[in-house]
Amino acid sequence: MPLEAPLAPVAERVAHLNARYRHHAARAVLERALRDPAVGRIALVSSFGAESVVLLHLVSVIDRSTPVLFVDTQLLFPETLAYQAEVAARLGLSDVRTIRARPEAVAAHDPDGLLHRSDTDACCDLRKVVPLERALSGFDAWITGRKRFQGGQRAALDFFEAEGDRRIKVNPLAHWAPDDVQDYMVNNRLPRHPLVSRGYPSIGCAPCTTRVAPGEDPRAGRWRDRNKDECGIHFINGRVVRGPAAQGDAT
């Protein structure tokens, strides 16, 4: 069999893909991302959180065998674990991969499971960033659910962006509004995460997620009263985000 031609540099491919698909709709962008050789080997990374089912459903309609990477920090709400199993089965996703920190790493750095109390960044790095980076090492691109309406740097989010010189990040829902997300869930009769109706519009690990009061920002319950608003799995110019990003750098 002939050897596959090496992929062009990430920045070059991102510029080409954005120019080619700039005016496409979310589903079309996702279809192209899953099939365009310029994207390469691709996986969907999903938290199975409040809005995750939209992108999971879109992927299931196009190709149910797409690898789905689910990071189980082992500090998640039981409801999230149950929801993950329910959604994967209902959508017929055939390649869901549960990613966890290596036991020896947890034993060495967080043996009592309380690292989140003293150093949330270190906890996220141990339980989420490092395991996901290891899982993504075999892929050229990954799909995210980020959207422009979430603000900060996302306000100018493109469908395709460079994660340094390592991988492409694909954001099919970049141009969606909040109503688009809710309408899609209603129109396709998709199951809701059980915690949403209990005041959790954004759901992370149980120790670091609280209910959100009416009128608060949906992410106000994430790391409440901590100098932090990102777990670190998203990168800016090849570096991990640590805590609240500088103006214009929020992910």
The residues that are catalytic are: 231
**Best CA proximity match to 231, nearest among 68, 43, 222, 218:** 222
Q: Can you tell me the distance from the alpha carbon of 197 to that of 56, in angstroms, rounded to the nearest whole number?
A: 20
Helix (H) or strand (E) holding 26: helix 26-35
**C-alpha to C-alpha distance for 215 and 233, rounded to whole angstroms:** 27
| DSSP letters spanning 124-192 | HIIIIIHHHHHHHTT-SEEE----GGG-GGGGG--SEEEETTTEEEE-TTTT--HHHHHHHHHHTTPPP
Angle of helix 26-35 versus helix 10-21 axis, rounded to 10: 140
* Residues 13 and 7 sit within 8 Å (Cβ to Cβ): yes
- Half-sphere exposure in the Cβ direction for 145 (13 Å, CA): 21
